[in-house]
Structure 1
Amino acid sequence: MKIALINENSQAAKNSQIYEVLKAEAEKAGHTVDNYGMYSAEDEHQLTYVMNGLLASILLTTKAVDFVVTGCGTGQGAMLAANSFPNVLCGHVTNPLDAYLFGQVNDGNCIAMPFAQNFGWGAEINLHDTFAKLFSEPFGGGYPKERVIPEQRNKKILDSVKLVTHRPLIDILKTMDQEFLKSAIDYPEFKELFFANSQDEEISEYLRSVLAK
């Protein structure tokens, strides 16, 4: 998998720590990680957790990445924002057990983590263990294993429901506040990583037009 890390402004100072741990554990499992920032609290370009939900949807819809790791102070706002957009199935993950069960039972494509709440002494140990457990097995394997068939069936039902309850992303991009959209994507690292990896030319071209305004 190609994994994206996206941090918002309140926890941007922890980006490098989170990225190094995520990269280490993801690479052990054969995955790669792209760091979409924020890279420090002093970054000129500021991302909010609502913007991160939008970015997660753009990256996943266009297949620029396969999985997104994001978060905020509690992880709750980031999860709510991510699930507000199409093609994102985001879980709130705080520890290794959450991570394992989310991957095996819910088979989602995004996690939101708390990077302030309970993020104190030894936080890097929990990060290592959480990411290690998240990537320890292919997603969707079920837990308990004998529940795999009904759990996979429920996941397919949820996916079909979300296709009905969410509009296509391209429609959302065209009708949402264009200044908000531009403010979310107009920074060098996003443009470099996204346009090199997007597999959806319609969305890519539309975002280019937004950036050109």
Structure 2
Amino acid sequence: MSALLLHLRAVDFVVGGCGTGIGYLNSVMQYPGVFCGHLLTPLDAFLFARINAGNCVSLALNQGYGWAGDVNLRLIFDALFTPETGTGYPPHRAEPQRQGRELLAQISRAAHRSMAEILLALPAEVTRTALNYPAFRPVLQSAVATAPNPDPTLTSVIEHLLESAPA
């Protein structure tokens, strides 16, 4: 779901997570064009935003969200959503870090199938469940209808999967 919305450019960034954050991270990183960080602290968020400048983060939701958890989350988001995204840290490492991000994007494109191929290869029960999740289906339909530079193959696959699944 996260990767599909990122791919369709329906969202610029996804915040997800699970108990340890590792399960969500492993899951979402299976898809092309997803660059996810695992954040435990505000320092992780600070460095991820500046160095990795990814489009997704995974939070360990069973750690650090008890007493003053709201403060921890606010500090993480303040450090993560900064105008300094991608500027590098320390500043003199900005150019090699930018080159590294570009190389990872090239590797992702080379190492993954297209999103349409992935959707067609997944078991029907997976796509049916995900695409028809009540809060997701209307977002997906809107994303397909308004996607900038839509991939006609992907659009066709999504429309077919939505039509073939019970609403």
TM-score by length of 1: 0.71
C-alpha RMSD of matched pairs (Å): 1.4
Q: How does 1:201-212 map to 2 (within 5 A)?
A: 201-212=152-163
Q: How does 1:37-186 map to 2 (within 5 A)?
A: 55-186=1-132
**Structure 1 unmatched ranges of 5 or more:** 1-54
1:122-154 Cα shifts (integer Å, max 9, x gaps): 111100110011112242100001110010011
Maintained 8 Å contact 2:32/2:114? yes
SS in 1 for 2:136: helix
Q: How many corresponding residue pairs?
A: 159
Q: Are residue 189 (structure 1) and residue 140 (structure 2) matched?
A: no
Range with bigger deviation, 133-142 or 57-66? 133-142
Maintained 8 Å contact 2:130/2:136? no
Structure 2: how far apart are the matches of 1:117 and 1:183? 29
Maintained 8 Å contact 1:100/1:134? yes
Work out the percentage of aligned pairs sharing the same amino acid: 34
Maintained 8 Å contact 1:93/1:111? yes
Structure 1: how far apart are the matches of 2:100 and 2:118? 27
Maintained 8 Å contact 1:195/1:204? no
Deviation at 1:64, TM superposition (A): 0.9
Deviation at 1:177, TM superposition (A): 0.6
**Structure 2 unmatched ranges of 5 or more:** none
TM-score by length of 2: 0.89
Maintained 8 Å contact 1:62/1:203? no
Structure 1: how far apart are the matches of 2:84 and 2:154? 29
Q: Which amino acid aligns with 2:24?
A: A
SS in 2 for 1:189: coil
Maintained 8 Å contact 2:38/2:57? yes
SS in 2 for 1:60: helix
Maintained 8 Å contact 2:18/2:58? yes
SS in 2 for 1:85: coil
SS in 1 for 2:11: coil
Structure 2: how far apart are the matches of 1:160 and 1:204? 23
1:67-120 Cα shifts (integer Å, max 9, x gaps): 110000010111111111111010101121111110110110000001112321
